[in-house]
């Protein structure tokens, strides 16, 4: 074992540093001042990254079990065999969802957090509805459709349904998924399934079999296990399109893009949906928050077309929407309206989950003795060095004696029986600092910086400057203190399979870079200067990571920046239509052969300056012409058929070097097909790249 525990600080800072390093490498800039300014921008929070968030993951409140719901007559008796162990408690919100759908016959929105068991909130009422059909289940036709925004989520649900439905003693319920992965013929579908299962771990395949089947079947080799799994799966799943056409399964899983194709094509419309006109009963939309704006309108119309195709009138359908990203209780009225608009059906209930408090789970926190003040605990946590998990409990006891009362340490040691995880559990479970942290994170996810500075957490007021900001030295002490507290809390657990004392998630937040924009005024007050290159001319003003028309500092034009991936030469671009400066099209395809786009530099090429100093010859290219930016009721661009002269500048306007192909005619522009500095001309890519990434 090792004492090198996961460092939350490194876990947050290292990915950020790697991302910025990647951007600076992928989009090189030869100009040192641009490079310096861009790096400085990228290092600011709120640009392409945000401070990480801590989310508490205390368990949700427990309620009844599937077994109890069966005994109450709410669920069909065979549900016990599907959800094992059936005596395991459901969460309170799961039970509420089941009862609202089954007993109250209402449509619901399940808006609980990640890992809260949202899937059970629709699978339990769905499978119960199917089992209660009894002999009518023998009739083919889709009863329930589960809609996802993407294939990856479909794949996860397919695995879940296989495990559940393979537990049927007699196969009554079948399902199918219909995406681009679904093969047309049974033969091809079986081969595809075989390849899929061969990539699984043996343990995952074993989960498809009951204890009796494992005992009575020969599953001794991977090949035998795969073939037996194929037999199990094909009994409960329609694996090909032809099977789904011939006998539509009870449950159909797809994504909204494929559903649109199915409703257009006569084959699926007739064989799948028209064949389900007397059976269709339930519609589930997962990740419902993704269907906002114009996408939401499109999906809403798609669902209306689905209802027409299966012959369902309004309020004849049971609808369930799920999402972990629908705010808190204060927005429930808006959530209900959103769901009603999306489904075209009435919604009255938003199901949310409540987590247990620290006191409910761990007992009442104790008061610290006078010799252990909050200030001393804070100071010690900031410098503590945690022992290895292999070290004796005596070493751990000595290390923690500055933050935990001695009698608590002794009591924990007697209960732990040499187990470090149990020891930490008993040592910390009623510590007031742990309780305060749990209660803070239980309210809502909090930014790392916010928790670090929390006087509620530390029980002390961190010293502040006259402007109200906390002194940096204390923030730097608070960061390792919080990191060490999280390390201790995640190590502590009462039993091996239990949640840790501090179940938390650390969310790292990044966004794509959607362009870099530069002020064309070299004298801009917002221009950055690399202190290591003070002798080199500054060619551009302030940089922006969001689109701007004019500079906030000097009111000069701001144009989009690009660079050559080979040599790092910087360029700026504009689109000029009737002399007006316009934004560039966002797609690369719209850039090529566009006569309205002008490829520019502020001053001569960086390579020309260096080569003149070194006495080297420059790349053969057309001499740049001139593009003048003037202010006339807004900034306008005028292309001029004269060679660029960097010494000719007039107050109130900007002369830029306009680069174009050697064979260019008249004053039309173009997105330069090759770098004017190094001459590179890629075959399948642009020579000059804009600063656009996708995370």
Clarify whether residues 368 and 456 are in a common domain: yes
At 1, the pLDDT band (50, 70, 90 cuts) reads very low
Average of pLDDT values for 600-620?
A: 60
Helices 472-491 & 420-428 angle (0-180, nearest 10): 120
Residue 120 binned pLDDT confidence (cut-offs 50, 70, 90):
very high
- Cβ atoms of 288 and 342 closer than 8 Å: yes
Per-residue model confidence (pLDDT) at position 271: 97
Q: How many structural domains does the chain have?
A: 4
What pLDDT was estimated at residue 612?
41
Rounded to whole angstroms, how far apart are CA atoms 176 and 425?
45
621: which residues sit within 8 A by CB, 6+ positions away? 659, 662, 676, 679
The top-scoring range by mean pLDDT among 290-299, 335-344, 454-463 is 335-344
Q: What is the pLDDT of residue 597?
A: 93
Is 58 a domain residue? no
628 in a structural domain:
yes
Q: CB neighbours of 96 closer than 8 A, spacing ≥ 6? A: 63, 351
Residues 248 and 380 in one domain: no
Residue 137 has pLDDT above 50, yes or no: yes
Indicate if 478 and 565 belong to the same structural domain. no
Distant-in-sequence, close-in-space partners of 25: CB < 8 Å, separation ≥ 6: none
Where does a domain end: 312, 347, 382?
347
> Would residue 279 be called left, alpha or beta, if left means φ above 0 and alpha means ψ between -120 and 50 degrees?
alpha
| Residue 493 dihedral angles phi and psi, to the nearest 5° | -155, 145
Query: 178 with 191, same domain?
Result: no
pLDDT at 303: 97
Which of 347, 368, 391 finishes a domain? 347
Residue 683's pLDDT is what? 78
Question: What is the model's pLDDT at position 502?
Answer: 95
424 domain residue, yes or no: yes
Per-residue pLDDT, 620? 52
Q: What is the DSSP letter of 140?
A: -
CA distance 388 to 223: 43
Q: Answer yes or no: do 465 and 586 share one domain.
A: no
Residues 662 and 565 occupy one common structural domain: yes
Percent of the chain with pLDDT over 90: 75
- The C-alpha atoms of residue 416 and residue 424 are separated, in whole angstroms, by 8
Confirm whether 280 is domain-assigned.
yes
Question: What are φ and ψ of residue 134, in 5° steps?
Answer: 55, -120
**Segment among 339-348, 365-374, 377-386, 618-627 with least mean pLDDT:** 618-627
Q: 508 φ, ψ to 5°? A: -95, 130
Domain co-membership, 407 together with 432: yes
Hey, which bits of 323-467 come out as E strands? Answer: 349-351, 446-447
- Model confidence at 694, in pLDDT bands (50, 70, 90)? low
Distances (CA, A) of 320 to 94, 113, 332, 693: 13, 16, 15, 36
Same domain, 167 and 119: yes
* 381 & 438 share domain: yes
Separation of CA 88 from chain center: 31
Residue 39: pLDDT band with limits 50, 70, 90: very high
Answer whether residue 622 is part of any domain: yes
Helix H or strand E encompassing 641:
strand 635-643
Is there a domain that residue 190 lies in? yes
Q: What is the mean pLDDT of the chain?
A: 91
pLDDT at 560: 96
Give the pLDDT mean for 493-507.
92
What b-and-e string marks burial along 477-494, b requiring 16 or more CB atoms within 10 Å of the CB? bbbbbbbbbbbbbbbbbb
Print burial letters for 103-112: b (CB count within 10 Å at least 16), e (below 16). eeebbbbbbb
- Assess whether 189 and 126 both reside in one domain: no
| Coil vs helix vs strand at 504 | strand
Of 364, 291, 367, 363, which Cα lies nearest the Cα of 322?
Answer: 291
Contacts of 309 (CB under 8 A, 6+ apart): 263, 269, 273, 274
502-545 residue pLDDT tens: 999 999 999 999 999 999 999 999 999 999 999 999 999 999 99
| Structural domain contains residue 54 | no
- Tell me, yes or no, whether 598 lies in a domain: yes
171-196 pLDDT per residue, tens: 999 999 999 999 999 999 999 999 99
What totals of helices (H) and strands (E) does the chain contain, helices first?
A: 26, 22
Place of tokens 């945000």: 50
Quick: pLDDT tens for 368-421.
Answer: 999 999 999 999 999 999 999 999 999 999 999 999 999 999 999 999 999 999
Print the domain residue range for 216: 183-238
The total of other beta-carbon atoms located within 10 Å of residue 228's CB is: 19
Burial class of residue 128 (count of CB atoms within 10 Å of its CB; 0-12, 13-18, 19+): buried
What are the distances in angstroms from CA 68 to CA 89, 156, 260, 354? 9, 28, 41, 21
What is the CATH number for 129?
A: 3.40.50.300
Does 562 lie in the same domain as 672? yes
Whether residue 399 is found in the same domain as residue 336? no
Domain boundary (490, 507, 524) is at 507
Top-confidence residue, 611 or 468: 468
Rounded CA separation 175/227 (Å): 20
Residue 609 clears pLDDT 70, i.e. is over it: no
């Amino acid at each position: 074992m090792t004492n090198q525990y996961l460092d939350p600080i490194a876990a947050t800072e290292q990915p950020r540093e790697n991302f910025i390093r990647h951007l600076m490498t992928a989009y090189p800039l030869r100009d040192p001042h641009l490079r310096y300014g861009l790096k400085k921008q990228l290092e600011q929070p709120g640009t392409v990254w945000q401070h990480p968030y801590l989310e508490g993951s205390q368990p949700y409140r427990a309620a009844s079990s599937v077994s109890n719901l069966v005994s109450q007559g709410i669920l069909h008796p065979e549900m016990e065999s599907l959800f094992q162990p059936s005596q395991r408690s459901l969460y309170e919100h799961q039970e509420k969802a089941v009862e609202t759908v089954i007993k109250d016959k209402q449509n619901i929105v399940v808006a609980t957090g990640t890992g809260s068991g949202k899937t059970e909130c629709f699978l339990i009422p769905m499978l119960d509805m199917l089992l209660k059909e009894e002999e009518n289940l023998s009739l083919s036709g889709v009863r329930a459709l589960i809609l996802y925004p993407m294939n990856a989520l479909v794949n996860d649900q397919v695995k879940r349904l296989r495990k559940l439905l393979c537990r049927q003693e007699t196969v009554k319920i079948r399902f199918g998924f219909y995406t681009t992965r679904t093969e047309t013929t049974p033969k091809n579908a079986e081969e595809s399934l075989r390849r899929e299962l061969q990539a699984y771990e043996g343990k995952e395949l074993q989960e498809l079999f009951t204890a009796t089947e494992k005992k009575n079947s020969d599953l001794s080799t991977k090949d035998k296990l795969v073939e037996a799994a194929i037999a199990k799966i094909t009994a409960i799943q329609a694996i090909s399109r032809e099977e789904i056409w011939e006998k539509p399964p009870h449950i159909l899983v797809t994504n909204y893009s494929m559903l649109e194709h199915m409703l257009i094509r006569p084959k699926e419309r007739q064989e799948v949906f028209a064949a389900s006109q007397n059976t269709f009963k339930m519609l589930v939309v997962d990740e419902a928050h993704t269907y906002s704006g114009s996408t939401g309108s499109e999906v809403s119309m798609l669902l209306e077309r689905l209802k027409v195709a299966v012959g369902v009138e309004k309020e004849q359908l049971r609808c369930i929407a799920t999402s972990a990203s629908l705010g808190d209780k204060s927005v429930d009225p808006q959530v209900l309206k959103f769901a009603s608009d999306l489904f075209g059906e009435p919604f009255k209930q938003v199901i949310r989950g409540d987590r247990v408090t620290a006191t409910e789970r761990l007992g009442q926190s104790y008061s610290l003795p006078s010799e252990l003040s909050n200030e001393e605990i804070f100071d010690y946590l900031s410098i503590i060095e945690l022992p290895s998990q292999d070290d004796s409990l005596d070493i751990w006891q000595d290390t923690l004696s500055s933050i935990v009362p001695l009698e608590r340490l002794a009591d924990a040691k007697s209960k732990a029986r040499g187990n470090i995880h149990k020891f930490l559990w008993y040592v910390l479970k009623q510590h007031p600092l742990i309780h305060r942290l749990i209660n803070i994170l239980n309210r809502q996810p909090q930014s790392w910086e916010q928790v670090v500075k929390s006087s509620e957490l530390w029980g002390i007021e961190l010293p502040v400057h006259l402007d109200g900001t906390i002194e940096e030295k204390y923030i730097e002490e608070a960061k390792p203190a919080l990191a060490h507290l999280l390390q201790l809390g995640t190590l502590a657990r009462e039993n091996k399979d239990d949640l840790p004392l501090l179940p938390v998630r650390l969310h790292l937040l990044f966004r794509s870079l959607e362009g870099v924009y530069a002020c064309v005024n070299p004298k801009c007050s917002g221009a950055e200067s690399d202190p290591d290159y003070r002798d080199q001319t500054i060619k551009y003003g302030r940089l922006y990571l969001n689109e701007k028309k004019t500079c906030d500092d000097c009111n000069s034009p701001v144009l989009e920046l690009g660079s050559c991936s080979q040599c790092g030469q910087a360029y700026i671009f504009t689109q000029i239509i009737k002399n007006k400066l316009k934004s560039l099209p966002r797609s690369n395809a719209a850039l090529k052969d566009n006569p309205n786009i002008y490829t520019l530099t502020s001053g001569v090429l960086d390579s020309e300056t260096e080569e003149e100093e070194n006495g080297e010859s420059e790349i053969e290219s057309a001499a740049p012409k001139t593009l003048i930016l003037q202010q006339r009721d807004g900034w306008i661009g005028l292309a001029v058929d004269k060679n660029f002269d960097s010494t000719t500048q007039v107050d109130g306007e900007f002369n830029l070097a306009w680069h174009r192909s050697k064979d260019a005619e008249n004053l039309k522009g173009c997105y330069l097909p090759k770098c004017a500095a190094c001459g590179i001309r890629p075959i399948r890519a642009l020579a000059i790249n804009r600063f656009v990434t996708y995370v």
